[in-house]
Amino acid sequence: MKAIGAAAVTQMSSVTSGMVWGAGIFTGIFWLAMGLTGALERVSRLISKPVVRGIVLGLGLSFMVQGIRMMQSDLIVALIALLLTFALLANKRVPAMFVLILMGVAAALVREPGLYREFSTIHFDFQLPHFMLGQVSWQDFVKGAIILGIPQIPLTFGNAVIAVTAENNRLFPEHPVTEKKIAISKGIMNLFSPLFGGVPMCHGAGGMAGHVRFGARTGGGPIILGIILLVTALCFSSSVMLIFNIFPSSVLGVILFFAGLELAISARDVKKEKGGYYILLVTAGFAFWNMGAGFVAGIVMQESLRKVYKDQAK
């Protein structure tokens, strides 16, 4: 979750672990309540398709720009990765992601031969997560909710509720989801994660777009990823940072760029009406800067145009 993560990183002197866990618990309670009471469905009914697509487009463009910035750390490797990805995206036998991972590992080892020595220190170290609820005070919960949790709400609503629902239903119309289901899932997830020292989490549309763009077509993709993460956390937790060094940021930038491209493409199905395009572009422009601002700007534009058209009809 961007707002919580950014605040925790930039305000390390004042943000405690307990506040992060408190923010997670607050997040879980908030989204569970929004889903179970039906409040989220009422809000969602107010949002037109151009607003939804504008949020997704803005998110996609922000991913693409961030990906380009990451690629600049090693342009040669990034260009090779881009060409390989374009060549393999339609190839059903050779997954582009698998090739990018191999290339990333090779590039990291060629650029930094010292990594060979560092990787030799990776070792099996089984550790179970510790129960953390006793380390979260009431003060941590309140501060975490106010300083971290509440600023995250509009971002989560735009990216991880509206956008991910729209993206899922576009990609998998045979398995549709609702904003209510996503909110309840998010609530349950965030009530459990902080209990074991986990950070607040959400269902990001960018993650889904990335999985699909690089070959995932069923729920087996996230299950495989989950198993890998669980094994890494339980068996190699003391070596996680070393394992992360194997992936150059330039290659990760290529992956992020294509995930953003997959998201941005979804905006093409907005009706070819001037009003719809205005709403789409205004929403996307503000969403590129901030998801919450994009949502508000889109709704304002939507209602303003609706009023104008109503007055013209009279």
269-278 tens-digit pLDDT? 676 666 788 8
What is the model's pLDDT at position 182?
92
Q: Does residue 133 fall inside a structural domain?
A: yes
pLDDT band at 303 (very low <50, low <70, confident <90, very high): confident
| Whether residue 294 has pLDDT greater than 80 | yes
Predicted TM-score (pTM) of this structure: 0.74
| Whether residue 263 has pLDDT greater than 90 | no
SS3 154: helix
| Whether residue 314 has pLDDT greater than 70 | no
Q: Does residue 50 fall inside a structural domain?
A: yes
Average pLDDT score, the chain: 84
Q: Does residue 268 fall inside a structural domain?
A: no
The fraction of the chain above a pLDDT of 90, given in percent, is: 14
Q: What are the percentages of helix, strand and coil residues in the chain, rounded to 5?
A: 75, 0, 20
The fraction of the chain above a pLDDT of 70, given in percent, is: 96
d(C-alpha 36, C-alpha 180), whole Å: 7
Q: Does residue 267 fall inside a structural domain?
A: no
What is the model's pLDDT at position 273?
64
Contact criterion met (CB below 8 Å) for 71 and 253: yes
Q: Could you list the residue range(s) of the whole structural domain that residue 79 is in?
A: 2-262+273-313
- At 58-102, the pLDDT tens digits run 888 888 999 999 999 888 889 998 998 888 877 777 778 888 888
| Whether residue 221 has pLDDT greater than 80 | yes
Token duo for residue 68: 């380009």
- At 24-55, the pLDDT tens digits run 999 999 999 999 998 888 887 778 878 888 88
What is the model's pLDDT at position 313?
64
- At 107-152, the pLDDT tens digits run 888 887 777 777 778 888 888 888 887 788 899 889 888 888 887 8
Most confident of 87-91, 180-184, 214-218: 180-184
pLDDT band at 302 (very low <50, low <70, confident <90, very high): confident
205 compared with 278, residue with greater pLDDT: 278
The dihedral through the CA atoms of 202, 206, 212, 215 has a sign that is: negative
Token duo for residue 282: 């205004």
d(C-alpha 305, C-alpha 282), whole Å: 12
Q: Does residue 12 fall inside a structural domain?
A: yes
112 compared with 283, residue with greater pLDDT: 283
Average pLDDT of the residues in 172-197: 90
Contact criterion met (CB below 8 Å) for 19 and 143: yes
| Whether residue 227 has pLDDT greater than 70 | yes
What is the model's pLDDT at position 188?
93
Q: Does residue 224 fall inside a structural domain?
A: yes
d(C-alpha 312, C-alpha 302), whole Å: 15
CB atoms within 10 A of CB 223: 10
What is the model's pLDDT at position 278?
85
Q: Does residue 167 fall inside a structural domain?
A: yes
The number of distinct structural domains making up the chain is 1
Average pLDDT of the residues in 235-260: 84
